[in-house]
Chains A and B, each alone.
Chain A
Amino acid sequence: MSPACRTAEPGPEILHEAARWFVLLSSGEASEADRRRWQAWRAENALHEAGWQRAQAACTLFSGIPAGQTRPAFDALERRPGVSRGRRRTLGGIAGLFVAAFAGWHGWRVSDRSADHVTAIGEQREIVLADGSRLQLDTDSAVDIAFSDKMRLVRLRRGRLMIATARQSRSDPPPFLVETAEGRIQALGTQFTVQQASGSSAVVVLESRVAIHVENGAGEAPILNAGQAARFNRRGLLERRPQTPADAAWHKGMLVADAMPLGEFIDELARYRRQPLHCAPAVRQLRISGTYPLADTERTLAALADTLPVRVEALRADDPSGGQIVVARK
């Protein structure tokens, strides 16, 4: 069996067992023998370990409270028990009205002729795969599809995609994998996005879980749960963090910025434009927040000058190619 096929999801019974171990180990009265039994249980089966990881992941939030802050944190949480779900982020909002319609362009790259599916700059497209799963391609992306009895493989050559796997009728469907230059991401559930950046791959899990099999990785493949994002290179994970609204907004045609450095914002916009877009170093660190439709980058650029101390200008306005646009300090 290939390493990609080893990982599966722990069922509710294993999760309950993991929860009982958690309760024992948190009690402050677990013995050395208890710990040895717990280690043995984890080592016994990859599903056990996955279940344990789930229990630990449920408590990672507490590590966000530094040691000296636990008392006021406890007091604050206890003063108002039973409050409702929902996270709010502090955001400076910038609002504007944008016309949103995606023009399908046909600027296919010559080098991508051999790829099975390619999107032009500014184009997004949804493809239904042979097993009923949905693949959404972001701007300027290329994929190959290779489905067989052994595996359902999507090779991401460039850009970004989102996969929503379809429920399969057969009880043991072949694993669903997305391959990048840095490794393979195995779907253990339904919905996730993958981006091929230069030298690394980024994954965001929207539903269920994925396993990341890095190219030169040894040992157990790390599991990423719903709501988590990670970046990895050929050797292993570089970063693991909670998902933010910005991570998956693109597949709904929006760009979400939450105090994002202007430089990153402009780089992201540039991925959706054929005309070059440049941000002057002096303003790259300015912060921008807001929700913007990706389809009309012109309007977004125009709105920048209203909210930030910047000017947006075309460098060679008479150039028939459209010229380069720069964002610079006012």
Chain B
Amino acid sequence: MNKLSASELTATSSQVRRDVLRMVHGCKSGHPGGSLGCADFLTALYFNIMDHNPDFKMDGIGEDIFFLSNGHISPVFYSVLARSGYFPVEELKTFRRINTRLQGHPTTHEELPGIRVASGSLGQGVSVAAGAALAKKLNNDSKLVYCLMGDGEIEEGQNWEAFMFAAHQKIDNLIVTIDFNGQQIDGSTKEVMGLGTDIGTKLAAFGWEVLDMDGHNHENILETMAKAKSMAGNGKPIFIMMRTEMGYPVDFMMGSHKWHGVAPNDAELANALSQLPETIGDY
């Protein structure tokens, strides 16, 4: 698979965002806010950063693999999987509809290519990714394991068990990125459950390498992820503080948690799509 440049990634992520909005609008449910916020990162992951094979094999041996812990941003995950060749782009229109492989939250149960574990009940993805990374070590597989999690999700205690475990076991082939948008369903993450300090400081104290990244700048994403890859194998798991804005870049969807889990109506969809160029072609 050809690796896209930063400018090509930006164009592709515009199409991914159109997919997200049209999928959520089509079934009148889903989570557009976080999906839009992570579109730049996931597009970069699947079209540049990871060495992966759209001819899907569950074991992922010999390729980089990805786990989505914050499964509610399934629309953006499905879009990048379809757009990178895991399944037909046309299938995006079945999102959340009866008999679909594109369940509300990702699952292996319907055998959708590209999904390696179910997620949605929060806080479980880092543990699974750590296990998969250990398996790569046992299999002498030098490829990497990536995981994306939400920042509200970090309130789940299992994450902290996993952070301890990954550092203790020196799982240094694991790169976890947090979608640091500062928003969750009931308000800002600071209002709902303050951490006392920033997440990066906590992770560093747990023994992780911590990097900072602008999640809406493809040049910065590529540069930071290249640095993260270069740190693999040094005895520490790697954590990336990805600064994003929920709803980005749709003007009326940014700046609050309102669009976490609400579908746009017809007028709102039209407004949002007018801000996002159709670069590859709608499904």
Do A and B form a real pair? Answer: no
